[in-house]
Amino acid sequence: MTDKIMILYFTGTGNSRYAAEKIADKTKCQQLNLNALIKKNETAAVLAENLVLITPTYAWRIPRIVREWIRKADFSAVKKVWFVMTCGSEIGNASAYNQKLCNEKGCEYMGTAQIIMPENYIAMFDVPEKNKAKKIIENANPVIEMAAQRISAGEKFPAEKNSLYYRILSGIVNPVFYPFCVKANAFKVDNRCIGCGKCAEKCPLNNIRIVDGRPVWGKNCTHCMACICYCPTEAIEYGEKSKGKPRYNMEGLKN
């Protein structure tokens, strides 16, 4: 992987991929899907001098599986790193942890950009209807473009607002969120399942097996919501929390 600027992105239902494609188009740089590498349990040497990491926000930080991939990857050629985080509302104090990660890897931290995108965390929050989701994306486009302009110019992103509330979200709630909330045992499938296997195909951690034509979840889940939101028949539910809620994925907005 060689380039002056490279985008690495991780995505659950398409928000971060959308931002990556928009920024790649503006900066004319290469993009690489981390989902595929994580699914294959592969790391890589990142040979770009300037790196853009685009991820969703999981409990007010970047996803742990992305953080661990970064820690294992060879960043010796990387000089500068920009973070772009998509979220349903806010990223909290994620920038402080992104800066620490850059310090670990010996890279210059170029800031974190927050991009408000349609909520997809159906296990806890409401997901917007299609027209509302389109409006949210429309409002996000200028913010994505400004981020791309700063990256192209080699400029740092403006510092994100910090507060005690944000520090609590990222510093205290995030560590509690994973052991108490990030579990797959609430996922279930009903008789609408057609056994297509899309849920297993989309799972970045290979946590879903198709057994007798039905998905079975293991214990290694990151709550990306790809399985439930990409199910073509909406046969997957997350306990009672997802019932009656619209599903959201970027491709679905085009239909």
The CATH code of domain 5-176 reads: 3.40.50.360
Which distant-in-sequence residues (6+ apart) come within 8 Å of 110 by Cβ?
Answer: 80, 81, 82, 83, 155, 156, 157
Report d(CA 214, CA 220) in Å as an integer.
Answer: 18
Rounded Cα gap, residues 59 and 68, in angstroms: 16
What pLDDT is recorded for position 2? Answer: 40
CATH number, span 181-250: 3.30.70.20
Nearest residue to 19 via CA among 110, 107, 114? 114
Burial 75-94 (b: 16+ CB within 10 A, else e): beebebbbbbbbbbebbbbb
What string of pLDDT tens digits covers the 255 residues of the chain? 345 899 999 999 999 999 999 999 999 999 999 999 999 999 888 989 999 999 999 999 999 999 999 999 999 999 999 999 999 999 999 999 999 999 999 999 999 999 999 999 999 999 999 999 999 999 999 999 999 999 999 999 999 888 999 999 999 999 999 999 999 999 999 999 999 999 999 999 999 999 999 999 999 999 999 999 999 999 999 999 999 999 999 999 886
pTM: 0.95
Do the domains 5-176 and 181-250 sit in the same CATH topology, yes or no? no
User: Domain coordinates of the chain in residue numbers?
Assistant: 5-176, 181-250
Tokens of 66: 């992305």
